Amino acid sequence: MAQAPLRRSEDAAPMLPALAAALCDADLGVRRGRVVVAAPSPRWAEAFDGFAAALAPTRPAEVLGIEHVGSTAVPGLPAKPLLDVAIGQRPGTAPQVLHGWLMAAGHLYRGEADGTRPDRMYALELEPGIRLVNVHVVDHGGAQWRRYLSFRDHLRTSTEAREEYRRLKQRLASEHPGDRLAYLQAKTAFVTARDGSCAQG
């Protein structure tokens, strides 16, 4: 029997206490749809470590990797103050497997990523509309997984690329403070040129 399609959610289960503890006072939080570029914080890496640890006890066997991606994963780079997390599933995993796990931990299901990427998107919110974490579920080892990691690693190792991206992000944030989609689209050329079609952070 075919399983029912996943539906976007507006109401979340209570966040796991360990998740709340990891994300509280971590310099995170941005209103949904807004574009804010904040000064880099060492707490972002700590928050990701706490996020991954909080989900570990119930992590399905189909989850083959959890990675901190996007600008908050790059030390010294200004970023929107929310974590981007890539969860790599075993290829062929039914969507419902990870869906139940993430929803039980307090995530919202946000559907496919703007209709432009193969991600299934989930989010954690401090309160309705205040986003702390974006979760991107993709196939582990697939093209999108590789793009997330290669773009992050390029920014971590290239001072020139990191500085160029910083200037671009800050300019675009001032031009599109209330239009997240326009902000993301304007970054596409930079990201794609570096083998990453995933405009994050």
User: In the predicted model, is pLDDT for residue 113 greater than 70?
Assistant: no
Report the alpha-carbon angle 185-138-178, nearest 5.
30
User: In the predicted model, is pLDDT for residue 116 greater than 70?
Assistant: no
pLDDT-based confidence at residue 199 (cuts at 50, 70, 90): very low
The tokens of 178 are what? 């209330």
Per residue in 117-150, pLDDT (tens digit) is 668 999 999 999 999 999 999 999 999 999 999 9
Q: What is the pLDDT of residue 98?
A: 96
Phi, psi of 197 (to 5 degrees): -85, 15
pLDDT-based confidence at residue 186 (cuts at 50, 70, 90): confident
What size, in residues, is the chain? 201
pLDDT-based confidence at residue 191 (cuts at 50, 70, 90): confident
The tokens of 153 are what? 């690693």
What residue ranges define each of the domains in the chain, with the CATH number in brackets?
17-192 (3.30.460.10)
Per residue in 66-110, pLDDT (tens digit) is 999 999 999 999 999 999 999 999 999 999 999 999 999 999 998
Q: What is the pLDDT of residue 20?
A: 96
Report CA-CA distances (Å) from 193 to 118, 157, 198. Answer: 19, 16, 11
Tell me the C-alpha distance between 198 and 200, whole Å. Answer: 6
Tell me the C-alpha distance between 161 and 154, whole Å. Answer: 8
Q: What is the pTM of this model?
A: 0.90
* DSSP for residue 118: S
